[in-house]
Amino acid sequence: MAEKTPHAHGAALSEMDIRVRALETLLTEKGYIDPAALDAIIETYEHRIGPHLGARVVARAWADPAYREWLLRDATAAVAEPPDFGFVGRQGEHLVAVENTPGQHNLVVCTLCSCYPWPVLGLPPAWYKSAPYRSRAVIDPRGVLADFGLTLPADTRIRVWDSTAEIRYLVLPMRPPGTDHLDEAALAALVTRDSMIGTGLARAPGAGVPA
């Protein structure tokens, strides 16, 4: 299927792209899928669902102790039920929130493939799906965190959570100091995607927005 020699046209397509396109064309021709419906799903996950939703969950947990307790007890319900959240989407049906503390830092991986809490974080970043991250997160989590520029105190335990098709994890990062005066919206702005995977921390106020 793949050309071994340089190809003069369509060079931007990888073998996987070609396979996906061929499959989509075939399924469309046979009437099994509607391209417009596919586009709507992709649009939803690319633009409407993303880590800004998870950031709102984290900010509320920081601001509201009762909500935090609910999130840690039953994240699936705590994320789905509040009317102003009402997140929808696949791959988050059984969500578990794990809380970072001074004594324990949580890191999420899917060693098998790329399971990820889509409704709260959107689509996973490419590195999350990469073989080096998936294997090293388990073998050498401290080394992986160092690659992300994150060095934790030596006495902070790192717990690695392996996602599956049934259970997806959301890290509840520690609330940065100096944020007592901030409301939920301002708190949410400090919550990065990586801080909810465990490869980063929440930003300190005034620290600027990383690229």
Residues that bind Fe ion in the complex, under the rule CB under 5 A: 110, 112-115
Q: Which of the residues 114, 130, 163, 195 is marked catalytic?
A: 114
Q: Cα separation of 195 and 108, whole Å?
A: 10
Known active-site residue 110: yes
CB of 109 to Fe ion, least distance (A): 9
Q: Which of the residues 115, 130, 135, 195 is marked catalytic?
A: 115
CB of 97 to Fe ion, least distance (A): 19
Known active-site residue 163: no
Known active-site residue 130: no
Count of Cβ atoms closer than 10 Å to residue 1 Cβ: 6
Cβ proximity to Fe ion, 67 vs 127, nearer residue: 127
Cβ proximity to Fe ion, 13 vs 113, nearer residue: 113
Contacts of 89 by beta carbon, 8 Å cutoff, 6+ apart: 44, 45, 49, 118, 119
Known active-site residue 135: no
Cβ proximity to Fe ion, 97 vs 108, nearer residue: 108
The string of DSSP codes covering the chain is ---SS--SSSTT--HHHHHHHHHHHHHHHTTS--HHHHHHHHHIIIIISSHHHHHHHHHHHHH-HHHHHHHHH-HHHHHHSSTTT----SS-SSEEEEE--SSEEEEEE-SSS----HHHH-SPPHHHHSHHHHHHHHH-HHHHHHHTT----TTSEEEEEE--SS-EEEEEPPPPTT-TT--HHHHHTT--HHHHHTSS-PPPTTS----
Cβ proximity to Fe ion, 91 vs 106, nearer residue: 91
Cβ proximity to Fe ion, 146 vs 165, nearer residue: 165
CB of 167 to Fe ion, least distance (A): 11
CB of 96 to Fe ion, least distance (A): 15
CB of 118 to Fe ion, least distance (A): 11
Catalytic residues: 110, 113-115
